[in-house]
Chain A
Amino acid sequence: MKSLTRLCRKYQLALIPFLMVFSFDGRSVIDVDGHRMVDGNLLTFGSDVWRQQMEADGLVALYLFNETTGPVRDVSGFGDPLDLVIDRPDPAVQPVNRNPGSLEIRFPTLIHSNGPATKIIDHCKANNELTLQVWLSNAASAELPRITPIRIVTLSNPLSTNQNQQSSANRNFFFGQDYDAGTMYRGVIRTSRSQSGGEIANDINITKVRELQSVVMTRDAQGISRLYVSYRDDNGRDRLVLRRELASDTDFHGSFSNWDDAAILGLGNEISYNTGLQSEDRAWLGTLYAVAIFCKALSPVQILGGAAPPQPALRPLNIDPSFVPTENHRRAAFLFRRLTGVTVPVTHPLIAQMATEIAGGTRIGWLRAAQIATSQPEFYNITVRDFAARMATREETVNAPLNDFVATIIGVVRDNENARSLLTGNFYYAADPDKAAVVDHLVDDILTSNNHYQDLERNRFNLAEVLVRRTPQSIYDGQGGVVANPDPAGLLTTRGWMEAHAVAGTNRRLVEYAFRQFMCVGMEHWADAYGPDNMVGRDIDRFPGNEHDTYTTSCRSCHSVMDSKRPAFARFDFSHGFIKNAFIHPPGDAPHQMPQNPAGVAEKMNRNDDVFPGGYVISNDEWVNHAVRGANEAFFGWRSERQRGYGVREFGQLLAGSEAFPRCLAQRAFRSVCKRDVAPFERGMINQVAREFEENGYNLRLLFEMIAVTEECMGQ
């Protein structure tokens, strides 16, 4: 049985390198077999082109762990090989398990060079740059009571036998595992500005246990340090993502001039681990698949390829100092500035094109000029993004973080989609992982967190370029699976919207803010004191302060119109970081469940049912539109024949089909581009533009253009 287990294990481990090759997407320095991807071309390990590339990249040491006996070979081909020996602290115990392509450290030991790692030290000191890549699998987290950081790779040396001079305190660099409310990777690099070294680490919940990961740490001569850690996408590919970038940390500035020339390269522990001192016991357990050390700092583009974050470069502006701008140039420049949010030189060819269009003095000409501006990425990255951000959260601020709600609006504008689909569609927008190196696991990074969009924003990717439409909208089932949303309704069923408005409460906020953001009307303006109150919930006191008049004159006004629509969201809730739906999540309080009362309806919809037991009980998602009387009828301009429906999608159709919807979007576009709200005497202009917006297929990009060229916006 034991031999069978060993046999299975041997073949399982033998299979992993085979599988890894197919999981390599080229977005890395090397793969586990030492191959390198450059500009889409795979450079096979050991080939001539590979050697040339590695020499240019500054490779000084490479371990692929293909040996099953004897030393661990340095196969870099650079200088004299820096082979490593494996200690055996306890002769009775074999601390490692070796298979072709991997070395599993099962018990504390140290794998080290016999003497100083001179070629690494000399070359890195000469260049003052470093890149370290490790392919590994952690056996466990670094949770206390371990002394951390534990060492995966270290270049250190005891200065003396004095306790304070043990190797853990005398390190040129190390990379290892740490723990601070969660396990993380931490790297330290000594510089002339800091004897103890600058430190870089990723956030928690990124480091995996018993899962293959690639980690890359770099420091360049300008003192910028970066840490990349891979994640596994939905297709099983391990993709590197930039997790941390430090530029102003002065501990990373300076040179490597103070590196210890006697430092020893070690894997899996601190060099002086066998002194018996607890501080030196930094044993790491896990499996190593490849370790590569370069004495040049590979750039984000070299590591991430075409998916790297935008890098500083200079775009020619064709500035002619002798140019004298005309009035049309100035108008064009102003129009460009207002639509894109940025300035380009008035001598720029784009401004010249716009000026030519404007010169005719016709509205068509102005619209063509505006179209030139809305073709620029800044229109989407700034103007549309901020337009959307104001609608995304309760705070209604442009500083709202990028999320699926905002990204979907940007995508719809860019792709000239009908804006009504924003409230009815079964899609959302996210980044193409081949164009933007961001985390992109559907469950971990989109459905249960905002990681995907946070990465997009943090790395300042060009959203106009990287966003793609994805369908269908999905919901996490709480147990590792993903299910199609049974009632998708565009923005109304995005995680961002639900997180903002479906948390706790009674789902009334969803209705209130849907009207606030998409109809541009606050609750107090569409309240109806004479509306029917047959659907007002049991949690609303009909005798507040023992006065029924208070209810009839105040409470009923809002609740009559709001509570009748609230059932549209009866099946939905948001808790434990993801959307819940009664058709997907079973009743209960556990994270994968959803409190329901009755079955099929979120419990929150019928809570506090003892306040007024005679009130309305929500038993399904049927809603009725009671905002149809008097001023509400005129204001909203309902066009749907049916003023009732089921679920969120039909609710979204009601809103999107009204006259208020295009008018609201026109108002919002005006605020974005013209830098103020619409004045009462400008109502006619807004109505006119809203009508044109409808007639042109609810094209939001055109809406922005039409708004920007109005006299109210441009001035006379």
Chain B
Amino acid sequence: MKTEKQKIRSLRKNLSLIATLGIIGAMSAVFGHGCGEIGKVVPSMGLFSSEAEEEFEVIPGARTAGTLYAKQALDAMLACTGLTAESALTREEYQNRRGSLSEFGYATHVTPPMAMALIALAGEVCNDLIQIESSLEWNQRNIFTSFNFSANSVTDEDVRDASARMALACWQRSQTPEEAQIVLESLSTVRASSGAEAVRKTALSLCAGMLASLEAVEI
């Protein structure tokens, strides 16, 4: 029989796979072969480092897309969820994963290992968040204000509320009805499981999936 920790690890692995496939798909759809066309710097005023080898065609009046990189990835996840610092376990996970994270934050530098590292990191950050929020009153929480962590299940409304808060916090915009529905449907398997940890698992899946999404990673 699996211990709780083993169950959570198993859940994270599945989550990692789903999110990785999702992110890679999204990246291909959004950037695809157009990656090199987004911005191009002709290195005449460029700074002299290996970064200058990355050439982008600059489109006047357009912002340059970028992603979280290196230590910024962990700091950004903490900041958008309201955590003041990470736990020791999260810190160790970051140290183990930092080699997979983009060094410069170029949108063209998102790789599968980076996507997997982001979901792993997001999982740990979300675990920290849930650990703290589950011990607080609902009006002291940031994200899971309507979750009853002592119950065996959560309602659709609870999930929509939490995902709406996650979107405002980490995507810096409101979620669309379609996105809300996608999140709801993606949690169906987790929510269908029973037991005292079902609510916690739902919260973890929701949080990690949204925190590691492209929308949250873009800077």
Interface of chain A, helix or strand or loop or mixed? loop
Known: A247-B92, A346-B173. A321 touches B52 (CB 8 A): no
A715 at the interface (CB under 8 A from B): yes
Q: Which of B83, B85, B87, B105 contacts A675 (CB 8 A)?
A: B105
The reply to whether A676 and B72 contact each other, CB–CB distance below 8 Å, is: no
Known: A310-B85, A338-B219, A342-B72. A321 touches B64 (CB 8 A): no
The reply to whether A342 and B70 contact each other, CB–CB distance below 8 Å, is: no
A509 to B76 alpha-carbon distance, docked (Å)? 36
The reply to whether A711 and B72 contact each other, CB–CB distance below 8 Å, is: no
Known: A330-B172, A342-B75. A314 touches B84 (CB 8 A): yes
B50 at the interface (CB under 8 A from A): yes
A309 to B43 alpha-carbon distance, docked (Å)? 42
Interface residues of B (CB under 8 A from A): 5, 39, 41-52, 56, 58, 60-66, 68-72, 75-76, 78-80, 82-89, 91-93, 98, 103-106, 128-129, 131-133, 136, 140-143, 161, 164-165, 168-170, 172-174, 216, 219
A315 contacts across to B, CB distance below 8 A: 82-84
Binds B, one of A27-35, A152-160, A396-404, A558-566: A396-404
A469 at the interface (CB under 8 A from B): no
The reply to whether A676 and B64 contact each other, CB–CB distance below 8 Å, is: yes
B47 contacts across to A, CB distance below 8 A: 390, 520, 667-668, 671, 677
The reply to whether A677 and B80 contact each other, CB–CB distance below 8 Å, is: no
The reply to whether A382 and B71 contact each other, CB–CB distance below 8 Å, is: yes
The reply to whether A378 and B79 contact each other, CB–CB distance below 8 Å, is: yes
B106 contacts across to A, CB distance below 8 A: 675
What 20 new A-B contacts, CB under 8 Å, besides A340-B79, A398-B69, A715-B63? A247-B87, A248-B89, A248-B93, A311-B85, A312-B84, A312-B85, A314-B83, A316-B142, A319-B143, A342-B76, A342-B80, A343-B80, A345-B169, A378-B79, A396-B48, A396-B50, A675-B66, A676-B56, A678-B45, A715-B62
User: Closest approach, in angstroms, between the C-beta of A375 and any C-beta of chain B?
Assistant: 15
Q: Which of A325, A340, A343 contacts B216 (CB 8 A)?
A: A343
The reply to whether B103 and A343 contact each other, CB–CB distance below 8 Å, is: no
User: How many A residues, CB 8 Å from partner?
Assistant: 68
For window 317-340 of A, CB contacts with B under 8 Å fall at 317, 319-321, 323-325, 330, 333-334, 337-338, 340
B42 contacts across to A, CB distance below 8 A: 679-680
A522 at the interface (CB under 8 A from B): yes
Which chain A residue has the least Cβ–Cβ distance from B107? A675
User: Which of A341, A346, A347, A682 counts the most chain B CB atoms within 10 A?
Assistant: A341
A312 contacts across to B, CB distance below 8 A: 83-87, 128, 131-132
Which chain B residue has the least Cβ–Cβ distance from A342? B79
The reply to whether B132 and A313 contact each other, CB–CB distance below 8 Å, is: yes
For window 483-513 of A, CB contacts with B under 8 Å fall at none
Known: A346-B173, A399-B103. A341 touches B80 (CB 8 A): no
A634 at the interface (CB under 8 A from B): no
B39 contacts across to A, CB distance below 8 A: 676
- Can you report 15 A-B residue pairs in the complex whose CB atoms are below 8 A from each other? A247-B88, A314-B133, A315-B82, A341-B75, A343-B79, A343-B170, A344-B80, A382-B75, A386-B72, A396-B50, A668-B47, A676-B39, A677-B41, A677-B52, A682-B45
A522 contacts across to B, CB distance below 8 A: 48
User: Closest approach, in angstroms, between the C-beta of B16 and any C-beta of chain A?
Assistant: 17
A397 contacts across to B, CB distance below 8 A: 49, 103
The number of A-B residue pairs with CB atoms under 8 Å apart is 191
A342 contacts across to B, CB distance below 8 A: 72, 75-76, 78-80
A715 to B62 alpha-carbon distance, docked (Å)? 5
A378 to B143 alpha-carbon distance, docked (Å)? 22
Q: Which of A310, A396, A516, A676 contacts B58 (CB 8 A)?
A: A676
Q: Which of A247, A319, A398, A668 contacts B104 (CB 8 A)?
A: A398
The reply to whether B61 and A398 contact each other, CB–CB distance below 8 Å, is: no
Q: Which of B92, B132, B174 contacts A314 (CB 8 A)?
A: B132
User: Closest approach, in angstroms, between the C-beta of A391 and any C-beta of chain B?
Assistant: 10
User: Closest approach, in angstroms, between the C-beta of B106 and any C-beta of chain A?
Assistant: 8
A714 at the interface (CB under 8 A from B): yes
Q: Which of A324, A679, A683 contacts B41 (CB 8 A)?
A: A679
A609 at the interface (CB under 8 A from B): no
A681 to B41 alpha-carbon distance, docked (Å)? 10
Which chain A residue has the least Cβ–Cβ distance from B78? A342
A323 to B169 alpha-carbon distance, docked (Å)? 12
A467 at the interface (CB under 8 A from B): no
User: Closest approach, in angstroms, between the C-beta of B210 and any C-beta of chain A?
Assistant: 12
Which chain B residue has the least Cβ–Cβ distance from A313? B84
Known: A247-B87, A675-B64, A680-B45. A325 touches B170 (CB 8 A): no
A693 to B41 alpha-carbon distance, docked (Å)? 24
A109 contacts across to B, CB distance below 8 A: none
User: Which of B41, B49, B104, B141 counts the most chain A CB atoms within 10 A?
Assistant: B49
A81-94 near B? 1/0 per residue, CB < 8 Å: 00000000000000
Which chain B residue has the least Cβ–Cβ distance from A397? B103
A317 contacts across to B, CB distance below 8 A: 82, 142, 169
A45-70 near B? 1/0 per residue, CB < 8 Å: 00000000000000000000000000
A147 at the interface (CB under 8 A from B): no
A330 to B52 alpha-carbon distance, docked (Å)? 30
User: Closest approach, in angstroms, between the C-beta of B184 and any C-beta of chain A?
Assistant: 15
The reply to whether A325 and B174 contact each other, CB–CB distance below 8 Å, is: yes
Which chain A residue has the least Cβ–Cβ distance from B87? A312
B164 contacts across to A, CB distance below 8 A: 321
Q: Which of B85, B143, B219 contacts A341 (CB 8 A)?
A: B219
The reply to whether B219 and A398 contact each other, CB–CB distance below 8 Å, is: no
Known: A347-B168, A396-B50. A667 touches B45 (CB 8 A): yes
B72 contacts across to A, CB distance below 8 A: 341-342, 382, 386
